Structure 1
């Protein structure tokens, strides 16, 4: 528990980075995934010590190599995704600790939370034979649809918020993304009849910064009055 004079509401600036894993028609297990990076920015508004809402803009890279002996196509893919989402966050524990007069000044160091949202993905997928990184000289397969393409995404999951000060918190989180696209691996129904939609998971760390706007205003007024 830490003492604080800042109310648990207002705007929070977000920045994060992490790794991704994809589940598609050619890869559904960790051994065929090539874990790729994610970076993103966003903003969150805390309504009270329990409920928050956020908007995020993330750049996601996905990749995998097919290793199914039943379908020895020796196929790999790389996909670039721009994801714009809005989410609602629910703290599983009240951000404040204690009761009575202590409740207004003591906050928990760790707060677990659940998160769910919806948004849009804008992506380009490229598939090619073999393994390894894709370069400009690499032979690629024809696109299964016109790219860039757009789809709907529903992210859900949770995390832990570690509060280090009134301004700074860090939140590792695990979020699973359900999409309406079957082309994140450039393998659609034509090549994989009866296949499911493509999804991906993200393990990331979000940096949260809460500007001390009110405090700065009061300090300036006090200095001006001297």
Structure 2
């Protein structure tokens, strides 16, 4: 545990990346997923050692290939989406060490947290026959709806925050995203009747930077006189 002169509240800048996998009409397992990259930025405000709120902007790519004998559609798809979400973070341990009524001035090196929120996605899905790269495909299937399109997303999950200094922390996290759309794979009810909406999961690592809070020079002068 490390000594800290910075209170556990205030603004934190976020940036990170990872990989995403989809659960959709044509793919529901790791075997058919083509894990695609995720990049994101955001800002978090810490209210106290337990509660925080954040807003995030993420760019997500999704892709998979049909491998189910029950639905031999013989297709692959690629989807690009932008995700804007607001989230609540709850630390499962107090950021400061100590127990009972005692709180140390030292902060924990590792703090597990839960996270949940809501937002929207703006996405475009493209499907094509067979396997391989989208850019190399000679044929693309007609869109199942008009793209780009909007959808609602509800992310939830958790992670671990590793604190290296008052300014720098790193947080690996696993977040699952429920969506309101059935078209992330460009396969809707017409091609796969009776199926549910598409969802995706993201494994990422976020860099968390807390700007230094410098004492106001005028307040200091007021305290010590002119």
TM-score (norm 2): 0.93
Unaligned 5+ segments in structure 1 are none
Q: CA RMSD in A?
A: 2.1
1:74 alignment partner in structure 2: 74
C-alpha deviation, 1:103, in angstroms: 3.0
C-alpha deviation, 1:133, in angstroms: 1.3
- Measured in 1, the distance between the counterparts of 2:178 and 2:213 equals 37
Unaligned 5+ segments in structure 2 are 222-226
The question of 1:11 aligning with 2:11 is answered yes
1:45 alignment partner in structure 2: 45
1:196 alignment partner in structure 2: 196
- Measured in 1, the distance between the counterparts of 2:101 and 2:188 equals 60
Cα deviation code 1:29-76 (max 9, x no counterpart): 000000000000000000000000000000000000000112222110
2:224 alignment partner in structure 1: none
C-alpha deviation, 1:99, in angstroms: 6.0
SS in 1 for 2:135: coil
Q: What pairs with 1:50-129 in structure 2 (closer than 5 Å)?
A: 50-98=50-98, 103=103, 105-129=105-129
- Measured in 2, the distance between the counterparts of 1:119 and 1:17 equals 19
- Measured in 1, the distance between the counterparts of 2:171 and 2:105 equals 22
Q: Flag the 1:100–1:126 CA change in 2: closer, same or farther, 3 A.
A: closer
1:163 alignment partner in structure 2: 163
- Measured in 2, the distance between the counterparts of 1:144 and 1:14 equals 35
Q: Flag the 1:188–1:109 CA change in 2: closer, same or farther, 3 A.
A: same
Contact kept, 8 Å, 2:65 with 2:77, in 1: the verdict is: yes
Q: Flag the 1:102–1:5 CA change in 2: closer, same or farther, 3 A.
A: farther
C-alpha deviation, 1:102, in angstroms: 7.8
C-alpha deviation, 1:182, in angstroms: 0.2
SS in 2 for 1:135: helix
Cα deviation code 1:108-130 (max 9, x no counterpart): 00000000000000000000001
- Measured in 2, the distance between the counterparts of 1:154 and 1:210 equals 26
Q: What pairs with 1:24-43 in structure 2 (closer than 5 Å)?
A: 24-43=24-43
SS in 1 for 2:214: helix
1:131 alignment partner in structure 2: 131
C-alpha deviation, 1:10, in angstroms: 0.1
- Measured in 1, the distance between the counterparts of 2:195 and 2:9 equals 44
